[in-house]
Each structure stands twice: as structure tokens, then as C-alpha cells.
Amino acid sequence: MSKKILIVDDEPRYVRLMEANLMADNYEVLKAYNGQQALEVVENEKPDLVLLDVMMPVLDGFTTCERIRKFSTVPIIVVTVKGEEKDRVRGLDLGADDYIVKPFSATELLARVRAVLRRAAKPAPTAVPSIFHHGNLDIDLAKAEVFLNGKMVYLSATEYRILLQLAQNIGSVIPSEQMLRDVWGVEYQKDKEILWVSISRLRQKLERDQNDPQHIVTRSGIGYIMPLLQEG
């Protein structure tokens, strides 16, 4: 079954361009021309990915992204002419999975779409349910579900993959470049910005005190580690 991708952009020429490229690559395309329409389509049609413009009427892309994240974990790629670092960071901090700056080529668009959809795919369930414990954190590896103090925590696919990398390498430091390569793909291995924003969001969800994290610890200049916890 082909994946459904929602294009949200108030510029018809960009909608037509993205639609043509995505359909040529066998994706089903949904369209919205402002943020309010996008919220309705996400809720009703359950797309597999959203391509979200920033500068739009009614609701801008940043506000739309923030509102989508209140009820959906659908992968979001922010599509913007605003390529400055502060704008990219803002989009990522509000819950976007990636960003692409206009103008862009069809090759770049499709590569980003494939990469984000690949990350969003759930890992294959294991034959026997297995629970990973780390203090007040539990990961149900069979169901790809995360619990903190017994309550489910909703993570994006990218956040879950980061956590899984740390859990599978507990006690070992994972270099930033390796984390980027394993979670996002080889083309992202120098993009430290997307990593530290994602780590920050994950800490907000999992740590009691983000200044003294227990599950995701930074090793300055090297990478990240989930430390072994002492018993008792």
C-alpha cells in the first residue's frame, strides 16, 4: 500500500511541484493550503508524513506543527524559505522530524521523505515480549512502547530510535556521529544541530531534572550514554 503524504503550502506552484514528484515516486498525495486545513486532514485522514510550509495564512507552520504534536506523532518535515539556524531549531524544537529549505530539487525532497519514513517504521516485533528497565524508565521492546513511573510516554519515531540506541548500548558512550548515522542516516552524520534538539526534547519527556539527567547523559565533546545504575 502506498504511503499517504500531506502537502501543506499556500503556494500552488510548490504544491504542484511536490505533488508531481511524490506521485511519480508512487506516493498518495493529500493537500492543504493553510494550517487549519492541515490540522483537519491530519486528524481525519491519518497521513504517514506531513510536508509543512512555515509562512502561511490562518495558522503558520510553526503553530500548526505545535498543535499537531498535541494529538499526533505523524512525521513532519518543515518546508521553508527560512534557512537560518534559529528557524531550523525552532521547527525541530516544536516537534518536526526534519526540515528542507526552498528552493530544493526533486532528488533532495524524495531523499528526505524516504529517510523520515524509514525512521518512522516501527521495528519488527520480537517473538517474546521483552522489557528493558532503567530506574523509573521501562521500554517494551516488543510493542515499541515507553513508560515512566508506570505511565506511557508518547515518543516520536525518531525519539524512540534514539532511546533504543542508548538502551542497546547501555554503559557505553555513543559518539554523536554514530548516533546521527544510525538514527537519521549517513547523510546526516555532521548535522549535530538536529541531534541536540532531539536529545533535548527526549530529556524533557523522560528526565525529572534535565540539568542532572539519569537516563541520557552527555559526554562533552564525545557523545551520549545511558549509564549503568547501581543496584540498591
The confidence score (pLDDT) of residue 77 equals 94
Look up residue 147 and give its DSSP letter.
E
Q: pLDDT at residue 199 above 60?
A: yes
Q: pLDDT at residue 204 above 90?
A: yes
The confidence score (pLDDT) of residue 176 equals 93
Share of the chain above pLDDT 70, in %: 95
Q: Do domains 4-120 and 131-225 have the same CATH topology?
A: no
The pLDDT tens digits of the residues spanning 85-137 come to 777 778 888 888 888 988 889 999 999 999 899 888 755 444 445 789 999 99
Distance CA(181)–CA(187), nearest Å, equals 7
Distance CA(81)–CA(174), nearest Å, equals 33
CA-based nearest residue to 75, from 54, 98, 101:
98
Query: Strand, helix or coil at 206?
Result: helix
Q: How is domain 4-120 classified at the CATH fold level?
A: Rossmann fold (3.40.50)
Average of per-residue pLDDT across 204-211: 92
Provide the residue ranges of all domains of the chain, joining segments of one domain with +.
4-120, 131-225
The confidence score (pLDDT) of residue 123 equals 57
0.75 cut: is pTM over it?
no
Average of per-residue pLDDT across 69-96: 83
The pLDDT tens digits of the residues spanning 130-174 come to 789 999 999 988 788 899 999 999 888 888 889 999 998 999 999
Place of cell 528542507: 100
Average of per-residue pLDDT across 179-190: 85
CATH of 131-225, one of 1.20.1050.10, 3.10.580.10, 1.10.274.10, 1.10.10.10: 1.10.10.10
Which of 19-23, 65-69, 179-183 ranks highest by mean pLDDT? 19-23
User: For residue 196, what pLDDT band results from cuts at 50, 70 and 90?
Assistant: confident
The confidence score (pLDDT) of residue 232 equals 43
Residue 127 φ/ψ, nearest 5 degrees: -65, -35
User: For residue 219, what pLDDT band results from cuts at 50, 70 and 90?
Assistant: very high
The confidence score (pLDDT) of residue 122 equals 59
CA-based nearest residue to 135, from 205, 196, 208, 202:
208
